[in-house]
Structure 1
């Protein structure tokens, strides 16, 4: 094979890998990292929707917004995709499990106490169980608004 064709082929390979790597980094840099705790019933979404239980998704995949994402109430109704990325105890996260939740309340105003205060979001027990071992009080999550 002539040298010019080898150089062109090598250059194409390098460029394709560079483009792939850049797209991979950009895709993953759109997500934020925070913490998620859990809370249980009674679920009374007073901060967002009064006491309108019809605002809860039928899947029970919902959360209360912590102050980091509350945004003066603009978080109400937002949807987030999230996944557990780490926890204090090894093996706590459910690997490769991504869920979608809906914000239905403010963490500071929830009737039920979260398992840890000051977190980015407080997940329903159903949502927390989907991404982590329910015995954990909190986990580190990667999340992105959808």
Structure 2
């Protein structure tokens, strides 16, 4: 009888423990920028730096890491914005860092964000009428 009680006890707590595991994702903000994208802070004038999907970004100060962010890839999704219905639900993208936001050739739609997404990347996760959105991202 005791073994049954222990077994039932474990059924209750195992799912609870799995649900309580921490997420590796970070939260930040993302703005957008438009062409021209060259030269970039990571790869200069090399056009092959951009992924064929055109899903790329410039790193803000929080993730730039003195240039170590160049080439990093992140999964990014919009989680909220100042206006309702800006985020595209259940849409995540993989972006590549190709530039430094503070020195990008094109201005950002909002200053001081974690990332500045290419027009295509931003428009894939959010309505482009917003100057910036809150994001969840994971390397």
Alignment TM class, shorter chain as reference? over 0.9
SS in 1 for 2:111: coil
User: How far apart, CA to CA, are the structure 2 residues paired with 1:88 and 1:39?
Assistant: 19
Shift of 1:39: 0.5
Q: CA deviation at 1:18?
A: 2.4
- Which structure's residues are more often helix, by fraction? 1
In the TM superposition, residue 96 of structure 1 has moved relative to its aligned partner by 1.4
- TM-score relative to the length of structure 2: 0.94
Say whether the 8 Å CA contact 1:37–1:137 is kept in structure 2.
yes
Give ranges in structure 2 of 5+ residues lacking alignment: none
Please, what TM-score do these two structures have when normalized by structure 1? 0.89
Q: Secondary structure at the match of 1:10?
A: helix
* Residue 98 (structure 1) aligned with residue 92 (structure 2): yes
Aligned partner of 1:66 in structure 2 is: 60
User: 1:142 aligned to 2:111?
Assistant: no
Q: CA RMSD in A?
A: 1.3
Q: Where in structure 2 are the equivalents of 1:1-146 lying within 5 Å?
A: 4=2, 6-22=4-20, 25-26=21-22, 28=23, 30-145=24-139
How many equivalent residue pairs?
139
